[in-house]
């Protein structure tokens, strides 16, 4: 019995001693297989590298223009806040917005309007930029003009010639245009400073700059028109209520509400930068924002190398050549 136990211990010790050797053999086998298939790995890597270089060269330059904006201060907010604390209930019944505490943040509302389908559609139609948005192929730097894709847009006749399947039409719809527009428009708000950045990406740096400038102007105008229209509706309603009531105290309150709505209208009319004040206007960038051609080439080379190694290892394990054969072939090549 004791002899069997001793023999078992010796076998266990022997297997423990042999395990590192087996691991070393496995690594040698792995490197031998990779070395044997080195030319195949190099060939696959070269193909992927060439493909990545060709792909990177064919990609058009994309330029990014941006403007830094600050939320415009609410100079009429003091009077409105005071009225909101006193007559907020009456104002809400009258449908008057005093923008008191807890109201909607005008800056955030402007950002959401800027990202909306309606604003984008109006912007595209107003400035007639559908061709620059949907058919621009590249930018001619020497002549500073956009070159359009001839398969999509006929520049001479200014007509769309796209070959598309129903329900789409040769001329892109506003739904199609919005999908492209929301990809090139970037609006961010810094949580600490509340500063807003509006950026546009385009093949032409001058088009990108112009669009950012227009966006800032249009969003200020749109928000101004919203507030003026709301104030006019509120004033009209309040004046009707003044004519209907005979209570002096209520009339006094309503007159104050009308006065604040008049201030809102006057304040909006005299200020162009109604929601956003421009701190740093948009410029035509001299350097492209993308593509990152060097990164594309490096990633293509790395991908080719990894796929080459994987292919060689998978092929070997599927064939499962004896280790001695691998070592012999490797020695013969050297």
- The Cα-based distances of 282 to 218, 234, 268, 317 in angstroms read 15, 37, 24, 59
3-state secondary structure of 58: helix
Q: What are phi and psi of 260, to 5 degrees?
A: -70, -35
3-state secondary structure of 155: coil
Q: Which of 297, 319, 296, 300 is nearest to 308 (CA)?
A: 300
User: Cβ–Cβ contacts within 10 Å for residue 146, how many?
Assistant: 19
Q: Are residues 142 and 201 in the same domain?
A: yes
Q: Which of 90, 84, 71, 105 is nearest to 260 (CA)?
A: 84
Determine whether 127 is exposed, middle or buried from the number of CB atoms within 10 Å of its CB (0-12, 13-18, 19+).
middle
pLDDT at 81: 46
H or E stretch covering 177: helix 174-184
pLDDT at 320: 65
Radius of gyration of the chain (CA): 35
d(CA 59, CA 50): 14
pLDDT at 4: 53
Tokens 């792995």: give the residue.
30
Q: Are residues 45 and 108 in the same domain?
A: no
pLDDT at 54: 94
Structural domain total, the chain: 2
Q: Are residues 31 and 132 in the same domain?
A: no
Q: Are residues 45 and 101 in the same domain?
A: no
The residue range of the domain holding 55 is: 21-59+292-333
pLDDT at 49: 94
Asked, for residue 15, whether it belongs to a domain, the answer is no
Inter-residue contact 21 to 319 (CB < 8 Å): no
Q: Are residues 46 and 189 in the same domain?
A: no
pLDDT at 70: 94
Asked, for residue 16, whether it belongs to a domain, the answer is no
The two tokens of residue 212 are 């950012």
Q: What is the pLDDT along the chain (334 residues), one digit of tens a residue?
A: 455 555 545 554 544 444 444 444 477 878 888 888 889 999 999 999 999 999 999 999 999 999 999 998 654 444 444 444 444 445 554 445 555 444 568 889 999 999 999 999 999 999 999 999 999 999 988 888 999 998 999 988 889 999 888 888 999 999 999 999 999 999 999 998 989 999 999 999 999 999 999 999 999 999 998 988 888 888 888 888 888 878 777 778 888 888 888 887 887 787 888 899 999 999 999 999 988 999 999 999 999 999 999 998 888 888 765 555 555 555 555 5
The two tokens of residue 284 are 């035509």
Report the number of secondary-structure helices (H) and strands (E) in the chain. Answer: 11, 8
pLDDT at 229: 87
pTM of the model: 0.74
Q: Are residues 153 and 212 in the same domain?
A: yes
Label the pairing between strands 276-280 and 136-140: unpaired
pLDDT at 298: 95
d(CA 157, CA 155): 6
Q: Are residues 172 and 31 in the same domain?
A: no
Asked, for residue 300, whether it belongs to a domain, the answer is yes
Asked, for residue 207, whether it belongs to a domain, the answer is yes
Cα(first)–Cα(last) distance of the chain, in Å?
54
pLDDT at 63: 95
3-state secondary structure of 211: helix
The two tokens of residue 122 are 């109006």
Q: Are residues 311 and 261 in the same domain?
A: no
**Torsion angle, CA of 127/138/61/307, rounded to 10 degrees?**
130
pLDDT at 310: 92
Residue 153 Rama label (left phi>0; alpha psi -120 to 50; beta): beta
Q: Are residues 301 and 237 in the same domain?
A: no
Q: Are residues 238 and 297 in the same domain?
A: no
pLDDT at 179: 95
Inter-residue contact 44 to 306 (CB < 8 Å): no
């Amino acid at each position: 019995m004791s002899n069997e136990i001793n023999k078992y211990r010796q076998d266990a010790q022997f297997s423990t001693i042999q395990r590192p050797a087996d691991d070393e053999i496995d690594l040698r086998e792995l490197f031998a297989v990779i070395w044997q298939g080195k030319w195949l790995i190099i060939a696959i890597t070269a193909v992927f590298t060439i493909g990545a270089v060709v792909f990177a060269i064919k990609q058009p330059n994309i330029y990014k223009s941006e403007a830094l904006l600050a939320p415009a201060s609410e100079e009429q907010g003091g009077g409105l806040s005071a009225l909101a604390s006193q007559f907020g209930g009456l104002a809400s019944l009258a449908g008057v917005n005093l923008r008191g505490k807890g109201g909607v943040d005008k800056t955030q509302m402007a950002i959401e309007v800027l990202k909306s389908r309606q604003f984008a559609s109006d912007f595209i139609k107003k400035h007639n930029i559908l061709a620059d948005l949907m058919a621009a192929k590249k930018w001619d730097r020497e002549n500073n003009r956009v070159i359009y894709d001839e398969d999509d847009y006929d520049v001479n006749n200014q007509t769309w010639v796209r070959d598309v399947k129903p329900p789409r039409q040769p001329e892109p719809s506003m739904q199609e245009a919005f999908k492209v527009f929301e990809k090139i428009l970037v609006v961010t708000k810094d949580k600490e400073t509340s500063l807003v950045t509006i950026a546009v990406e385009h093949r032409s740096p001058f088009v990108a700059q112009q669009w950012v400038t227009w966006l800032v102007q249009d969003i200020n105008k749109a928000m101004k028109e919203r507030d003026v229209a709301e104030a006019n509706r509120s004033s009209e309603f309040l004046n009707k209520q003044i004519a209907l009531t005979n209570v002096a105290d209520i009339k006094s309150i309503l007159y104050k509400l009308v006065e604040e709505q008049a201030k809102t209208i006057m304040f909006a009319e005299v200020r162009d930068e109604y929601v956003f004040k421009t701190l740093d206007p948009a410029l035509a960038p001299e350097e492209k924002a993308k593509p990152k051609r060097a990164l594309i080439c490096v990633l293509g080379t790395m991908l080719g190398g990894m796929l080459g190694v994987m292919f060689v290892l998978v092929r070997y394990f599927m064939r499962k050549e004896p280790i001695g054969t691998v070592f012999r072939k490797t020695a013969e090549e050297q």
